[in-house]
Amino acid sequence: MVTAYLFMLPSLLILAVFIAWPMYKAFRISFTDFNVFQSHSVGLRNYTHLIHDGAFHNALKNTFIYAGITTPLSVGLALVLALLLNQKLAGRDFFRAAIFVPVITSLAIAAISWRFLINPDIGLLPYWLEKIGVNTKGLGDPTWAMVWVIIVGVWKNVGFYTVMYLAGLQSIPREVYEAAEVDGAKSWTRFRTMTWPLLMNTTMFVFVIAAIAALQAFDQIFVMTHGGPFFKTETLVMMIYRLGFGEFQMGYAAAISWVLVLIVFVLSLIQIKFFNKRLVQY
């Protein structure tokens, strides 16, 4: 046991220094009006202010809209791609690599490229959309800004979730499918009665990490819209950045960050409880 803890010690130290300690400091700061010049204890004022803060309500709504669309869309698309790429197809390895490339691409750099693609003056996407009767002003359009941010979020993460599903598919015993084929089960029947239930363990993992990633979305929003237009894409993380590093309201920003931690924790527990009832052993 001692040997195991010694091997874990470097990782535990890194977690303590870069995660546990900053979280503790942020928790303490959340009870102050801390800024770069002064710090005074204000008790629960920062937390009670959230109840009446319209900007916080807007950021919370945008966060749930982004996460509520991005998470199921990314997971569903990843499952479809994994099922396709698990077949014996020509060029399968190429397509697997191509889907995974966005995962290892810097999202900040990729978001700059997406800004050019979406630009209504020079971008290809608005030009193609106009050909089918869809007009958009790009990232300056309050209606379309969140749509584009969601598209980039899905594009970035779906490759990673696809790899997770591919691993889950390849861990399912082949004997199960061979027995079903002997019994004459069709493709849809095999998926509905065998593949999907046996992937429930993988689905729980993918859904939880996808939801956490969506709730913490920042990179593409910062580069593409900076929370605009008219705060239509400002999420909680973007608001924390704006208040903490733009307006130096670090105490209030720390309080919002801890509210986000609580939201992530509660939603993760709900998802785990939901999927635990459907986990399988094989």
Contacts of 102 (CB under 8 A, 6+ apart): 110, 155, 156, 157, 158, 159
CATH superfamily of domain region 54-276:
MetI-like (1.10.3720.10)
Instruction: Report the alpha-carbon distance of residue 77 to residue 162 in Å, rounded.
Output: 8
Structure-token pair, residue 54: 């319209």
Instruction: Report the alpha-carbon distance of residue 234 to residue 231 in Å, rounded.
Output: 5
Contacts of 136 (CB under 8 A, 6+ apart): 120, 126, 129, 144
Q: Where are the domains of the chain?
A: 54-276
Show pLDDT as tens, one digit a residue, over the chain (282 residues).
788 888 899 999 999 999 999 999 999 999 999 877 778 889 899 999 999 999 999 999 999 999 999 999 999 999 999 999 988 888 888 888 899 999 998 888 899 999 999 988 888 888 888 888 888 888 888 889 999 999 999 999 999 999 999 998 888 877 777 777 777 777 788 788 888 888 888 888 899 999 999 999 999 999 999 998 999 999 999 999 999 998 989 999 999 999 999 999 998 888 888 777 655 555
Instruction: Report the alpha-carbon distance of residue 92 to residue 191 in Å, rounded.
Output: 21
Which pTM value belongs to this model?
A: 0.90
Q: Which amino acid is at 221?
A: I
- CB atoms inside a 10 Å sphere around CB 57: 12
Measured in whole angstroms, the distance separating CA 15 from the mean position of its chain's CA atoms is 21
